[in-house]
Amino acid sequence: MDTTRNTVLEAWMAEHGYSSNSLADAVNRALERLTGRSGGLDGSSIRDWKAGRVQWPKSASRKALEDVTGLPAVALGFVPRGRSSSAPASPQQEDPDMKRRTLVGGIAAAAAAAAAAPGTASPRRIGMSDVDRLQKRFAEIIASDHRHGGQLGIEQRAAALADEALNLQNVGGATQRVRSSLYASAAAFRSSAMWAAIDGRRYDDAKAHMREAQSLAEMSGDQAIKFRIWSHAGTMYRHMGRPVDALAANDVARNLHLTRRDPLFACLGHARQAATLGLTGDATGVQHALGHAKDALERADPGLTRPVWMTGVRDGSELETLALAAHLRLRNFAQAEAHAHRSLTLLRPQMRRDHAINTARLAAAQLGQGDVELAVTTMMKVPADIAAQHARVTRMLREFGTALHATASDSAAVRTWTEHAATWTFTA
């Protein structure tokens, strides 16, 4: 048996600071998320991979490793059975996302090479053009979130890009403005990793990303990214059923002076506070917060340049979405339905995740009013791929099924829904 060492895997582990034992632990955790059972890998298993004694791990272990690294197995030096280790990967096996990650990784690598090149008169200067390249990658992360949301691959890609932004700090000279922008970029990527983990209900991972993002944001001095991180923290605690912590985190975001300078940030802060107050049953508080949010939206200057993640706030869809969530919690089903229809009208077509979530909420509001057949028809509009793969949507579908059986257990609508839901394979 050919036991050529897997130097590609070794290099990846060295670059990302993994020992054999720590990588085994990470893959075992990914296996548990995939299969519901803890993996049985240990340091010797990883050493077998590195030594080439195992050239193509078992399918479950391979998928878990791909989830941890964000790369396909062939890009980590593994060789499918029946193919020589010297044979190149076929075009069909090349992952477009991997190509993008490789390109992004090249930013820091190219900078380091330039800084260390012999004969170079002075270290490479890091400038705003490097920051601009990172910002383009950040826009790609936001676009992926709008389409898919909550996916482990988005979380891992965002975290890797945060590391890339930090690596640029060490490979050349830069002005203070550039260094602050790099810290802001790293914080932005880490906050997207945090959001993907929240959206996927991986709360322990989300809290780890949050702590890193908060430190980076402080070093950047960027008020907008500070607002995003604390606002995400409020959402995380709301989803975890911890309204007191959610309200406190929202207050940190709402008290940043940015919200006084730009009412659009105040709008988002008030709207998220309303969603949390809905969780506490405070109907008066919800009405006041939504009123403040609407006033702030009307006062906001539409011509100001804002971060790409504020798009949904600018067009009003985020306010309608959070009002929907608040009224649904309060069991104000008629008002919730009205906000659901408005949100679905305002949401942009590429925001598939939000369309799915608000369609599910609309169905819940209709069911709450006793419109069983209409609610089932609405819920069946949730796309099957999102229904099966997005943790929040999956939970909403299951809760809907439970409520539907409790409301009309013997109806034809229940049978229709049961047959429809049986066609999905839930993986979230």
CATH of the domain at 348: 1.25.40.10
- Tell me, yes or no, whether 400 lies in a domain: yes
- Strand boundaries in 253-386, DSSP class E: none
Tens-place pLDDT, residues 273-286: 999 999 999 999 99
| Domain co-membership, 237 together with 176 | yes
| Domain co-membership, 102 together with 51 | no
- Tell me, yes or no, whether 164 lies in a domain: yes
| Domain co-membership, 132 together with 55 | no
Give the per-residue pLDDT at 104.
Answer: 41
Q: Give phi and psi for 307, each to the nearest 5.
A: -60, 150
Give residue for tokens 């912590």: 245
Name residue 325's amino acid: A
Q: Give phi and psi for 2, each to the nearest 5.
A: -75, 120
- Tell me, yes or no, whether 88 lies in a domain: no
- Tell me, yes or no, whether 118 lies in a domain: no
| Domain co-membership, 160 together with 46 | no
| Domain co-membership, 18 together with 73 | yes
- Tell me, yes or no, whether 426 lies in a domain: no
| Domain co-membership, 137 together with 65 | no
Give the per-residue pLDDT at 75.
Answer: 78
- Measured at the CA of 15, the angle between CA 36 and CA 83, to 5 degrees, comes to 70
Tens-place pLDDT, residues 91-138: 333 343 444 344 344 444 444 444 444 444 445 678 888 888 888 888
Bridge partners (DSSP) of residue 125 are: 173
Cβ count within 10 A of residue 255: 13
- Using CA atoms, how far apart are residues 84 and 247, in angstroms rounded to an integer? 58
Domain that holds residue 301: 98-107+125-421
| Domain co-membership, 57 together with 103 | no
Residues of the chain with pLDDT under 70: 1-3, 15, 81-124, 425-428
- Using CA atoms, how far apart are residues 6 and 42, in angstroms rounded to an integer? 17
How many domains does the chain divide into?
2
The two three-digit tokens of residue 2, written as one number = 């050919």
- DSSP structure class, residue 56: S
End-to-end CA distance of the chain: 38
| Domain co-membership, 336 together with 225 | yes
- Tell me, yes or no, whether 364 lies in a domain: yes
- Using CA atoms, how far apart are residues 242 and 88, in angstroms rounded to an integer? 51
- DSSP structure class, residue 90: P
- Tell me, yes or no, whether 371 lies in a domain: yes
| Domain co-membership, 102 together with 60 | no
The two three-digit tokens of residue 324, written as one number = 């929907």
| Domain co-membership, 66 together with 161 | no
Cβ count within 10 A of residue 63: 17
| Domain co-membership, 69 together with 103 | no
- Using CA atoms, how far apart are residues 39 and 24, in angstroms rounded to an integer? 9
Entry pTM: 0.69
Give the per-residue pLDDT at 103.
Answer: 39
| Domain co-membership, 57 together with 130 | no
Dihedral angle over CA of 184, 186, 188, 192, nearest 10 = -170
Which residues, other chains included, contact 75 with Cβ-Cβ below 8 Å and sequence gap of 6+? 8, 89, 95, 98
Give the per-residue pLDDT at 90.
Answer: 36
Give the per-residue pLDDT at 425.
Answer: 58
- Using CA atoms, how far apart are residues 16 and 162, in angstroms rounded to an integer? 13
- DSSP structure class, residue 125: B
Exposed e or buried b per residue across 142-156, where buried means at least 16 C-beta atoms within 10 angstroms of its C-beta: bebbbebbbbbbbbb
Give just the sign of the alpha carbon dihedral 65, 396, 321, 278.
Answer: negative
Bridge partners (DSSP) of residue 173 are: 125
- Tell me, yes or no, whether 116 lies in a domain: no
DSSP reduced 3-state for 17: coil
